[in-house]
Amino acid sequence: MASRYDRAITVFSPDGHLFQVEYAQEAVKKGSTAVGIRGTNIVVLGVEKKSVAKLQDERTVRKICALDDHVCMAFAGLTADARVVINRARVECQSHKLTVEDPVTVEYITRFIATLKQKYTQSNGRRPFGISALIVGFDDDGIPRLYQTDPSGTYHAWKANAIGRSAKTVREFLEKNYTEDAIANDNEAIKLAIRALLEVVQSGGKNIELAIIRRNQPLKMFSAKEIELQVNEIEKEKEEAERKKSKKTV
């Protein structure tokens, strides 16, 4: 009887579901993959770039956005919804600085976005935002943070996470490969993010977008060339590992 309970989202179903929220989560699963990794001195966001039409200007499609100098987010789901949320978050970052004289903590802005999303699950005539967000950054105390929000308005801190299409596959990969060695230095953390994305992205490095924040430094978007370099390194390492394995077996 799901159809009777998804008209107005303020209505619970008899077994306690909010179907509109669950449908929103389905919309998120249709979006392109985004992965976030929290290193020791770096936070990395990687997204799968959807292939653009021939005449479309590629640069206008940005899935990784800075919210302030020290916080940025990537999303999966409805782009238009994300634009609204990002705008509100950016205003809130500056508003906070104006009233409290301090930049926002990553947790604060995550909580703000999550509260905003929750409000839309409890209002008449509105539908939930169809996006999940990965929010990364450094706080004043220099500790790196990664948070994930979903359309229901919950948020959690993660060491590494993925959202969007094939998020499950990527998350399993991360669970296997996120070790202390893997994030030992910045470069390793970046490679881990790319390797995670390469699991699910077709045609390799061309369809990956990457951004990092290092402690006390602003957001850095990687150029296509830099990503190519990293991908090539990864391929080389893979070949090395293959060769070593085959040597052993022979």
Partner 1 sequence: MALQDVCEWQALDTQGASPHLPQVGVWAVPRGCDPQTFLQIHGPRLAHGTTTLAFRFRHGVIAAADTRSSCGNYVECPASRKVIPVHQHLLGTTSGTSADCVTWYRVLRRELRLRALREGQLPSVAGAAKLLSVMMSRYRGLDLCVATALCGWDRSGPALFYVYSDGTLLQGNIFSVGSGSPYAYGVLDRGYRYDMSTQEAYTLARRAVAHATHRDAYSGGCVDLFHVRESGWEYVSRNDAWVLYSELQKLPGPEKEGEEEATPDRAGEVGEPSAGPGPAPAPAPAPAPGDSRMPAEIETL
Phi, psi of 12 (to 5 degrees): -80, 150
Among 8, 52, 100, 241, binds partner 1 (CB under 8 A): 100
Shortest Å, Cβ 146 to partner 1 = 18
In the complex with partner 1, the residue whose CB is nearer, 103 or 144, is: 103
Of 5-13, 20-28, 98-106, 194-202, which part binds partner 1 (CB under 8 A)?
A: 98-106
143 near partner 1, rule: CB under 8 A: no
3-state secondary structure of 43: strand
In the complex with partner 1, the residue whose CB is nearer, 109 or 133, is: 109
3-state secondary structure of 214: strand
140 near partner 1, rule: CB under 8 A: yes
Among 108, 127, 177, 186, binds partner 1 (CB under 8 A): 108
Query: What is the distance, to the nearest Å, from the Cα of residue 101 to the centroid of all Cα atoms in its chain?
Result: 28
d(CA 87, CA 90): 5
d(CA 71, CA 108): 11
Among 26, 58, 102, 239, binds partner 1 (CB under 8 A): 102
d(CA 151, CA 173): 24
Interacting residue ranges for partner 1, rule: CB under 8 A: 99-102, 105, 107-108, 140
